[in-house]
Amino acid sequence: MDYASYIAGLPRVLAGAGTIFRDTEGRLLLVEPNYRDTWTLPGGTVESDAGESPRQAARRETAEEIGLDIEPGPLLAVDWARGKNRPPLVSYLYDGGVLEAAQLAAIRLQEEELLSWRMVQWDEAQTLVSHEMALRIDAALKARTAGRGPAELEDGVPPSGADGPPSRG
């Protein structure tokens, strides 16, 4: 078997990247996609065929979706998410920092994909995003607050042997 055939036969894994933005009151920025029933963070698919890294994807997707070109801060979480009706997804969440009033006023939505955006407290955010996204955001926020490296997750929870006890929602 040649190398190209070997590579072509490997399992497929998707990659996505998103950014957690906060305002001066500690609220989270969520966007409302027109293609799903739940809200989410700014972010999307890593275009690996174009040589894009997850960090580059987070920045590009933020610029495309909300019109802000902001370099992502530290990586907060990496989640291996097993899919239903899709290949597994490796999801990277970055810290976008605190958005000032002028940046919030400059938000311009990508109308092809998004209906609206809003700033919400964490307790409300948990009711708007999917269960899987809520687990991922929660782990990322805890990693940020603790000042430790990124949270390693499998389907939103730390795997056995990872730092910290798993919490299932």
Residue 64 in this model has a pLDDT that exceeds 80: yes
Judged by DSSP in three states, 146 sits in helix
pLDDT tens-digit profile of 10-22? 888 899 999 999 9
Structural domains counted in the chain: 1
Within a domain: residue 141? yes
CATH number of the domain within which 126 lies: 3.90.79.10
* Contact (Cβ atoms closer than 8 angstroms) between residue 146 and residue 152: no
Predicted TM-score (pTM) of the model is: 0.89
Cα–Cα distance measured from residue 129 to residue 37, given in angstroms and rounded to the nearest whole number: 9
The per-residue pLDDT for range 20-55, each reduced to its tens digit, is: 999 999 999 999 999 999 999 999 999 988 899 999
Question: Is the pLDDT confidence value at 77 over 60?
Answer: yes
What's the domain range around 140?
13-154
Position 165 pLDDT exceeds 60? no
